[in-house]
Amino acid sequence: MLHSRRTAATIGAVALTGALFTAAPAQADAGAPAAGATPKPSSKSAPKGDGAKAVCKRLPKTEGRVDAAVTRLNGDATVSGSIARLEQRVANAKSEGHTEIYTYLNDRLTARKNLLPTLQKRQTDLKAVSTWCAAQKSK
């Protein structure tokens, strides 16, 4: 009795696996248009404006997020997420001879250092947007 249950379970598993393998290619092709077919137009339309009203509405929150990120990145070694803290971790990994950890953390440090100028540029851009939004409200 136990042997027949195992056999039935094995046969069922093999059948299920076979069904999955044969269905996968059909599913992959289902979303792809046929060669030479023209794609159907999307039910969504292209934007009609630049979304300025929505940008102005979200501006205070966006400025707050960017400012917080810049403050965090410029923080000292006690601030979680700061460049200084990650530099300390990189130095610790190097001094302990953990080369794989050192490489991983050093790559993260490089990315974080590259992020800072991008965020600072964004701060400048958001100040200009803020001025523009204020001028639009006064019209």
Containing structural domain, residue 99: 52-137
Distance separating alpha carbons of residues 61 and 70, to the nearest angstrom: 14
For 68-79, write each residue's pLDDT tens digit. Answer: 999 999 999 999
In a domain, 133, yes or no: yes
In a domain, 43, yes or no: no
b/e for 102-117, b at 16 or more Cβ within 10 A? beebbeebeebeeeee
In a domain, 84, yes or no: yes
Closest of 48, 49, 66 to residue 130, by C-alpha: 66
| Per-residue confidence in pLDDT tens, the chain, 139 aa | 555 555 555 565 555 555 445 555 555 555 555 556 666 666 678 878 889 999 999 999 999 999 999 999 999 999 999 999 999 999 999 999 999 999 999 999 999 999 999 999 999 999 999 999 999 887 6
